[in-house]
Chain A
Amino acid sequence: MATTTLAPRAETYRRSWILEWLTTVDHKKIGVMYIVNSFFFFFAAGILALVMRSELAVPGLQFLDERTYNQAFTMHGTIMIFLFVVPVLAGFANYIVPLQLGAPDMAFPRINALSFWLLPVGGLLILSGYLFGGAAAEGWTGYTPLSSAYAPGVGTDLWLIGLILVGTASILGSINFIATIFKMRAPGMTLFRMPIFVWTMLVTMTLILLATPVLTAGLIALFIDRNYGGSFFEPAAGGNPILWQHIFWFFGHPEVYIVILPAMGVVSEVLPVFSRKPLFGYRAFVFATIAIGLLSFSVWAHHMFTTGVVFLPFFSFMTALIAVPTGVKMFNWVATLFRGSISLTTPMLFALGFVSMFLIGGISGVMLAEPPIDFHLQDTYFIVAHLHYVFFGGSVMGVFAATYYWFPKMSGRRLNEGLGKIHFWLMFIGFNLAFFPMHMLGIQGMPRRIADYSPDAGWTLLNIISTVGAFMIAISILPLLVNVVATFINGERVGDDPWEGNTLEWATSSPPPPYNFDKLPPIRSERPVFDIRHKHDREHLTDEARLPAEAGES
C-alpha cells in the first residue's frame, strides 16, 4: 500500500510480469517465448522418441501396443518439425533479426504476438488427441486414404486443426519477417551488408510464404474429406490419394530447407566469429541460399519415387542439382576455418558439429536422389537416419549453437563453458550412436514405422545400440538444464559483446533496451561491429569500411 501512495502514476502503467509477458508485443520477449515454448515441445517429443526407442530395442512388444506406437511416432514427427525446429529457429530470428538490422522491432509487432500465440494453441490441440480417444496415428505425413477414410478417430481431426493454426502462424510470421527485412534496415545496411543469418531468414520466410499455404489448403481439403463428405483424395469417389502426396511434399520439401537454412545462417555467424575471419565467399553463400530456395520447389516428388507415377529423371536431376549450392556452402564453411584463429567455444563446437554431421545427411541425400537406390532405401530406416542427420545433426546442432551463442545477448550472462562442452560431447556421441546404425538397418531392409520386428531379422544388435544412443542424447540435456538454471542464479556477467561478434546485435547492451539501440554505429560492411573494433588496424578492413576513418569519423 505504501508504494501506491509513493508513486501513484507509475502504478497506473505498471503491470505484473505475467501480464507483461502475456500481452507483450516486444520482439525480444516474443522471441524468448517462442524459444521456451519450443523447448517444452522438444522435451515432449523427445520423451516420445525415448518411448519408441525403448520399444524397438529388442524384438517383441514390451511396453506399447501397435496403435500407441503409431501415435508416438506421428506425434514425435509432427511436434519436432512444426512445434520445435521451425518455431525455435523463428524464435531466435525474432530476437536477433531486428537487432542485426538495427531496427527497433518487427514491422508488425501485434501480428508477431499473434503468430506466436497460435503456436501453443495449435500444439496443444494436436496433443489433445490423447485425451479424446487417441492422438493421430498416420505418421507426420498423414498419407491418404489412411488418414481420411481409415482413421475414424477425432485425434486426426484435432491434428488437422492444430496444423492449420500452426500453418497460419507461419504464414503471418513470414510476411512479418519479409516486411521487416525489406523495410526496417538501418541506414547504410544495403542488402549485401545484411548478416548471413538475415539472408537465410529472408529466403526461409519466402519459402514459408510460398509453401505453407499449399499445405494449409491441403489440410483443409483433407478435413472436408473426413468430415463433410468430400472426395479430394478418395479413390472410391474418383479422387486421387496421390494428390495428397503431391500437395504434402510440394510443401514438405521446401519445409526441409525452411528448417535447415536458418541453422545454416546461425553456423555462418558462429564460424566466422570463432575463426576471427569473415565468412569465405559471402556473396556466393547468398546466391547459394537463393539457389537452394528456388530449387527446393522443383524436387518434391523425390519423396514419391516408389509410387510409380512421377517422372523420375526430372526429379532425380533437380534433386541432385541441389547438391551443388549445398556443396558450395560446405566449401565456404571449411574455407572460413582455413588459416583462421579458431577457439573451440561451445557455440563453435555445435557449429562444427553441424558442418560435420550435416555433411553425412547431404551425402545420404545424394544417394537417395538416384531412383534405383531410392527404390531399395525408401521407407526404410535409412530414411530415418538421413532425415535425422539433416534435422538433428543439422538443424538441432544449429539450434544449440544459437542457444550458447546468443544466450549472453539475451541475458547478459554466459552459459558455463564446461557444462556446455559436456552437453556437446554427450549429445554428439549419443546422436551418432542413435542414428548412424539406422543407416545400416535401413540398408539391410528394416522398414520405418514398424512397432516390432522379427528376432530372426538380425536387426537386434543395431537397435540396441541405437536405443543406448537415444538415452545418451536425453542425458546430454541434463547439463544444459542445470546450466541454464545455474547461469540465471549465479552466471558470469560478461558485458555486451563477450564473443567479439561482428554484427549489430553486439553493438547494443545485453540484454538490449526495449527499443534496442540508443545509438547505431556506421554500417559500412556486413561486419559493422568488427569495423569499429578494428578501426585502427586498417589493413584488416574492407575499402568501404575504411572510408569513414579517413573522413575523420569515429
Chain B
Amino acid sequence: MRPLAARFRLWTLIRAGALLSLVLVMSGCLVPPTPETKEAQDTFGLYLLVFVMGAIVFVGVEAWIVYSVIRYRRRDDRLPTQLHGNTFIELIWTAIPTVIVLVLFVVSTMTLGAIDQPSKDPAVTIEVTGFQWQWTFRYLDHDNNPNNDYTVTGTTAQPPVMGLPVGQPIHLILHSADVIHSFFVPHFLIKRDVIPFPAGQSPNTLNFTITNAGTYGGQCAEFCGDLHARMTFSVLAMAPDAFQQWLANAKAGRPPPPTGSAPPGATVVDLSAQNIAFSTSQIEVPAGKPFVIRFNNKDSVGHNVAIFDASGKVVYRGEIFSGPKTVDYQVPALQPGTYHFQCDVHSTVMVGTLVAT
C-alpha cells in the first residue's frame, strides 16, 4: 500500500507543479497593457490585486478537484461514509467568499472614486463625435468661435489622430451622430460609451491625464454596424510645447507633408530611429535645395522628424508613423543656417541639429 500512496503523492506534486508553471506562464499574457494615464495606473493596481486573489482561488480549487479525483478514486465496492453536510464548515465557507467580496468591493469603490474624478480645469477639451463608421475630434478653445476650432474627421482608410499633451488633464465630451459607439484606448485601460441621448440629457464625458508620450491605438468598442471593425483612431501624446505646436499647425490647416518617391537628383539623408533614439544628432544638407530625409523607424512606437528654425518656428514636420517602416520625407528648401530637429513624440530625448550650408 505504501509505494502506491507515495506514487499518488508524487503524481499530485507533478500535476500541481505543471499546473502552477502553466499558470505562471499564462499570467504573463493576462496582464493589461502598460498603463499610460494616471487613472490607468490605479486601475492596473486594482487589476493585479483582483487577479492575484482570483489566481489563488483558481489554483486552490482546481488542485483540490485533481487531488480528490486521484485520492478518492473508487477501489472497491465499500460504500463511503454518507456525509450529508456539516453546518459549521458550511458557515465558514459562506463567510470566506463574503469577506473576499466585501474587501474587493471596498477597494474597487475607492479606485472608482480616484479614476472617475473630472478635472475642474482641463487643459484640453475635445468634442468627440462617433458616427458610422469613424470619429470626428473637435478641439474646443475658449474663443467661442467654432470656425477657429481645429476639427479632424477620420475615414476608414485614414483614421484620425488625436494629438494630446502629456501631464495635463484632458476632458473629452462624447457625442454620437447615430448609433451607440464606445471610445476605447487599451493603454488607458478605459472605455466609455458614446451614446445618442435624447435632447436634454448631457453627453458622457471622459477625463484622464496622460503620463507618457507615445502613440496609442484606439477603436470603437461597442458594436455599431457594418464597418465597426474599421472605427480605429490613434492618440498621439507629446510634450505640452510640442502639442501646442502640433495644434497650431493643424489649425493653420497645413496640409499633411507629401510623401512619395524622392525627386531625381535630390540629396537623400539617411536617418533611423531605434530604441527611442535617433541614429545621429547631426545632419548636414545643402541649403536652398529641397532634400529628402529617408527616415527608417525601427521601433514599434511612433516617431517622426520635425525641423525648427533658430526662433523655434516649425519649418517642416513629417508625419508620425510606427515602425518598422521607412518613409521619405520631402523637405522644402531651407535657408542656410542651423536648425533644431526632433521627434515630436519624444521631444525630450530624440533631438539633434541640422545644418544647411
> Among the listed stretches A27-35, A125-133, A318-326, which one makes contact with chain B, having 4 or more residues with CB under 8 Å of it?
A318-326
Docked-complex contact A444 and B33, CB < 8 angstroms: yes
Known: A143-B223, A317-B105. A371 touches B65 (CB 8 A): no
Docked-complex contact B84 and A278, CB < 8 angstroms: yes
- What's the Cα separation between A313 and B105 when bound, in Å? 8
- What's the Cα separation between A549 and B61 when bound, in Å? 40
Q: How many residues of A contact B (CB 8 A)?
A: 94
Mark contacts of A346-384 with chain B using CB atoms, 8 A cut-off: 1 yes-contact digit, 0 otherwise: 000000100110011001101101111101101110000
Q: Does B109 contact A (CB under 8 A)?
A: yes
Please name all residues of chain B whose beta carbon is closer than 8 Å to the beta carbon of A338 when the two chains form the complex.
Answer: 68, 72, 83
Residue of A145, A278, A280, A366 near B196 (CB, 8 A) is A145
B44 to chain A, nearest CB (A): 9
Docked-complex contact B50 and A370, CB < 8 angstroms: yes
Please name all residues of chain A whose beta carbon is closer than 8 Å to the beta carbon of B250 when the two chains form the complex.
Answer: none
Please name all residues of chain A whose beta carbon is closer than 8 Å to the beta carbon of B74 when the two chains form the complex.
Answer: 276, 341-343
Q: Does B4 contact A (CB under 8 A)?
A: no
Residue of A341, A363, A462 near B79 (CB, 8 A) is A341
Q: Does A422 contact B (CB under 8 A)?
A: no
> Among the listed stretches B134-142, B180-188, B253-261, B266-274, which one makes contact with chain A, having 4 or more residues with CB under 8 Å of it?
B180-188
Q: Does A499 contact B (CB under 8 A)?
A: no
A337 to chain B, nearest CB (A): 4
Residue of B83, B105, B322 near A456 (CB, 8 A) is B322
Nearest-CB residue, chain A, relative to B77:
A341
Docked-complex contact A337 and B68, CB < 8 angstroms: yes
Q: Does B150 contact A (CB under 8 A)?
A: no
Q: Which of A313, A321, A341 has the most CB of B within 10 A?
A: A341
Docked-complex contact B197 and A235, CB < 8 angstroms: yes
Q: Does B284 contact A (CB under 8 A)?
A: no
Docked-complex contact A450 and B80, CB < 8 angstroms: no
Nearest-CB residue, chain A, relative to B227:
A66
Docked-complex contact A372 and B43, CB < 8 angstroms: yes
Docked-complex contact A235 and B43, CB < 8 angstroms: no
Q: Does B115 contact A (CB under 8 A)?
A: yes
- What's the Cα separation between A284 and B85 when bound, in Å? 9
Docked-complex contact A277 and B90, CB < 8 angstroms: no
Docked-complex contact A307 and B195, CB < 8 angstroms: yes
Docked-complex contact B72 and A145, CB < 8 angstroms: no
Residue of B76, B85, B115 near A372 (CB, 8 A) is B115
Docked-complex contact A379 and B191, CB < 8 angstroms: yes
Docked-complex contact A241 and B196, CB < 8 angstroms: yes
- What's the Cα separation between A241 and B195 when bound, in Å? 8
Q: Does B7 contact A (CB under 8 A)?
A: no
Please name all residues of chain A whose beta carbon is closer than 8 Å to the beta carbon of B68 when the two chains form the complex.
Answer: 334, 337-338, 340, 342
Mark contacts of B24-68 with chain A using CB atoms, 8 A cut-off: 1 yes-contact digit, 0 otherwise: 001001111100000000110011001100100110011011001
Known: A145-B179, A277-B80, A376-B32. A320 touches B105 (CB 8 A): yes
Docked-complex contact B198 and A240, CB < 8 angstroms: yes
- What's the Cα separation between A105 and B149 when bound, in Å? 73
A6 to chain B, nearest CB (A): 51
B90 to chain A, nearest CB (A): 5
- What's the Cα separation between A328 and B97 when bound, in Å? 8
- What's the Cα separation between A532 and B46 when bound, in Å? 54
Q: Does A312 contact B (CB under 8 A)?
A: yes
Q: Which of B33, B81, B93 has the most CB of A within 10 A?
A: B93
Q: How many residues of B contact A (CB 8 A)?
A: 88
Please name all residues of chain B whose beta carbon is closer than 8 Å to the beta carbon of A367 when the two chains form the complex.
Answer: 47, 50-51, 54
Docked-complex contact B105 and A339, CB < 8 angstroms: no
Please name all residues of chain B whose beta carbon is closer than 8 Å to the beta carbon of A375 when the two chains form the complex.
Answer: 43, 115, 189-192
> Among the listed stretches A113-121, A406-414, A488-496, A534-542, which one makes contact with chain B, having 4 or more residues with CB under 8 Å of it?
A534-542
Q: Does A25 contact B (CB under 8 A)?
A: no
Docked-complex contact B72 and A240, CB < 8 angstroms: no
Docked-complex contact B93 and A327, CB < 8 angstroms: yes
CB contacts under 8 Å to A, within B197-253, are: 197-199, 201, 204-205, 217, 219-230, 232
Q: Does A179 contact B (CB under 8 A)?
A: no
Known: A143-B223, A241-B195. A366 touches B50 (CB 8 A): yes
Residue of B42, B232, B300 near A454 (CB, 8 A) is B232
Docked-complex contact A373 and B47, CB < 8 angstroms: yes
Docked-complex contact A341 and B80, CB < 8 angstroms: yes
Please name all residues of chain B whose beta carbon is closer than 8 Å to the beta carbon of A366 when the two chains form the complex.
Answer: 50, 54, 101, 104
Known: A334-B68, A341-B78, A367-B51. A453 touches B229 (CB 8 A): yes
- What's the Cα separation between A443 and B89 when bound, in Å? 36
Please name all residues of chain A whose beta carbon is closer than 8 Å to the beta carbon of B195 when the two chains form the complex.
Answer: 241-242, 307-309
Nearest-CB residue, chain B, relative to A375:
B190
Residue of B104, B198, B205 near A239 (CB, 8 A) is B198
Nearest-CB residue, chain B, relative to A343:
B74
Q: Does A21 contact B (CB under 8 A)?
A: no
- What's the Cα separation between A359 and B60 when bound, in Å? 11
Mark contacts of B71-114 with chain A using CB atoms, 8 A cut-off: 1 yes-contact digit, 0 otherwise: 01111101111111110011001101110110011001101100
Docked-complex contact B84 and A542, CB < 8 angstroms: yes
- What's the Cα separation between A498 and B220 when bound, in Å? 55
Q: Does B344 contact A (CB under 8 A)?
A: no
Nearest-CB residue, chain A, relative to B95:
A324
Please name all residues of chain B whose beta carbon is closer than 8 Å to the beta carbon of A193 when the two chains form the complex.
Answer: none
Q: Does B132 contact A (CB under 8 A)?
A: yes
Docked-complex contact B186 and A376, CB < 8 angstroms: yes
Known: A145-B196, A321-B101, A367-B50. A352 touches B69 (CB 8 A): yes
Q: Does B328 contact A (CB under 8 A)?
A: no
Please name all residues of chain A whose beta carbon is closer than 8 Å to the beta carbon of B199 when the two chains form the complex.
Answer: 235, 238
CB contacts under 8 Å to B, within A223-281, are: 235-236, 238-242, 275-278, 280-281
Docked-complex contact A452 and B58, CB < 8 angstroms: no
- What's the Cα separation between A306 and B112 when bound, in Å? 12
Known: A359-B61, A379-B191. A339 touches B72 (CB 8 A): yes
Please name all residues of chain A whose beta carbon is closer than 8 Å to the beta carbon of B197 when the two chains form the complex.
Answer: 235, 240-242
- What's the Cα separation between A68 and B187 when bound, in Å? 31
B233 to chain A, nearest CB (A): 12
Nearest-CB residue, chain A, relative to B206:
A308
Nearest-CB residue, chain A, relative to B186:
A445
Given contacts A320-B104, A330-B61, A378-B221, 12 further A-B contacts (CB under 8 A): A70-B226, A150-B179, A239-B198, A308-B192, A316-B112, A327-B96, A340-B80, A341-B72, A341-B76, A343-B74, A352-B69, A540-B79
Sampled A-B contacts (26; CB under 8 Å): A70-B223, A139-B223, A145-B179, A146-B180, A146-B225, A235-B196, A240-B197, A241-B196, A277-B81, A320-B101, A323-B97, A327-B93, A327-B97, A337-B65, A338-B68, A342-B69, A359-B58, A366-B101, A370-B50, A371-B112, A372-B43, A372-B47, A372-B111, A373-B46, A375-B115, A376-B186
Report the 4 A-B pairs with minimum CB-CB distance, sorted nearest first.
A445-B186, A327-B97, A370-B108, A450-B229
- Seen from chain A, the residues whose Cβ lies within 8 Å of a Cβ on chain B are 66-67, 70, 137-139, 143, 145-146, 150, 235-236, 238-242, 275-278, 280-284, 306-309, 312-313, 316-317, 320-321, 323-324, 326-328, 330-331, 334-335, 337-344, 352, 355-356, 359-360, 363-364, 366-367, 369-373, 375-376, 378-380, 436, 439-440, 443-445, 447-454, 456-457, 462, 534, 537, 540-542
